[in-house]
Chain A
Amino acid sequence: DQQVKQNSPSLSVQEGRISILNCDYTNSMFDYFLWYKKYPAEGPTFLISISSIKDKNEDGRFTVFLNKSAKHLSLHIVPSQPGDSAVYFCAASANYGGSQGNLIFGKGTKLSVKP
C-alpha cells in the first residue's frame, strides 16, 4: 500500500512554460514533505521542502504547495528549463514524539523540458 503516490510517471513541457508535478499521500501523520530531483547515474538531490504548518514554500523558480485537507502537494517550476529534465521524487515523513521518522518516497515523475 503506497503511502506516497505520484500518479504521473512522466510529464513533457515546453521550455519557458510551467511544469506542475503532483503528489498525493494517505498518511495524515505526515508533517514534512520534500521534493528531490534525480539525474541518471546520480543520487537524488534535495530541491525544496515544506512543513505541514505552511501551505506554500517558494525558492526561486520552484514553489511547493500543500493542501492538507486533500492530502495533496504539488511542485511548480516556472519557467521550465531544459536542465530541469530529470526524475522528481516526492517524499514525506512523520514526526513521532519529536523524533523525525524516515522518508517515504513516491515512485517519481520523469519531467522532460523541450527546447
Chain B
Amino acid sequence: DARVTQTPRHKVTEMGQEVTMRCQPILGHNTVFWYRQTMMQGLELLAYFRNRAPLDDSGMPKDRFSAEMPDATLATLKIQPSEPRDSAVYFCASGLGASVGGETQYFGPGTRLLVL
C-alpha cells in the first residue's frame, strides 16, 4: 500500500527555533508538493519539485522557509526562525507528473506545527 509519509506528525516549538519537516514521496513519483493549511487561507501551495528540481516556490516566504529534495526519496521543508504565524498543518503530496490528462496528487497525513 504505497503512501506518502511525513515526519514528525506533530511539532510544538518556541518562536525562533528551527523546524524541519520531512516527506517521503510514493516510490516512482517524480513530483513533490508542499502545502500549508490554515483556517483562514485553506490549502496553500508553498513549493513544488519535479524530478528533484524546484519548479515553483513563489508561495513560500523566502526569508525563513526553504524546501529541498536531497534525493528522490526525501523532501524537506525547513523554517528558520519559526514564528507563531507559521502554526498550521503542513502537507506533502506526490504525483507522477503527467503532462497530459492531468495529474493526481497523493497527500501525506501532514505535520501539525504549533509555534509558541
A binding-site residues for B, Cβ under 8 Å = 31-32, 34, 36, 41-46, 49, 51, 89, 93, 95, 98-100, 102-108
Instruction: Across the A-B interface, give the 5 residue pairs with the lowest CB-CB distance, nearest first.
Output: A32-B102, A43-B107, A107-B42, A105-B43, A100-B103
Interface residue ranges of B63-116 to A (CB < 8 Å): 91, 93, 97-110, 112
B binding-site residues for A, Cβ under 8 Å = 4, 33, 42-43, 45, 48, 56, 91, 93, 97-110, 112
A110 to chain B: closest CB distance in Å? 12
Known: A44-B107, A46-B104, A46-B105. A100 touches B45 (CB 8 A): no
Q: Report whether over half of chain B's contact residues are helix, strand or loop; otherwise say mixed.
A: loop
How far does the alpha carbon of A99 sit from the alpha carbon of B56 in the complex, in Å? 13
Find out whether the CB atom of A89 lies under 8 angstroms from the CB atom of B43.
Answer: yes
How far does the alpha carbon of A100 sit from the alpha carbon of B30 in the complex, in Å? 13
Find out whether the CB atom of A103 lies under 8 angstroms from the CB atom of B45.
Answer: yes
Q: Which residue of B lies closest to A50 (CB)?
A: B102
Q: How many A-B residue pairs have CB under 8 A?
A: 58
A89 / chain B contacts, CB cutoff of 8 Å:
42-43
* The one of B91, B100, B103, B106 that contacts A93, using a Cβ cutoff of 8 Å: B103
A93 / chain B contacts, CB cutoff of 8 Å:
102-103
B34 to chain A: closest CB distance in Å? 11
Q: Which residue of A lies closest to B40 (CB)?
A: A107
Please name 28 pairs of A and B residues whose Cβ atoms are closer than 8 Å in the assembled complex, sorted by A.
A34-B104, A36-B107, A42-B110, A43-B93, A43-B107, A43-B109, A44-B43, A44-B107, A46-B104, A46-B105, A46-B106, A49-B102, A51-B101, A89-B42, A89-B43, A93-B102, A95-B100, A95-B102, A98-B99, A100-B99, A100-B102, A102-B45, A102-B48, A102-B56, A105-B43, A106-B42, A107-B42, A108-B42
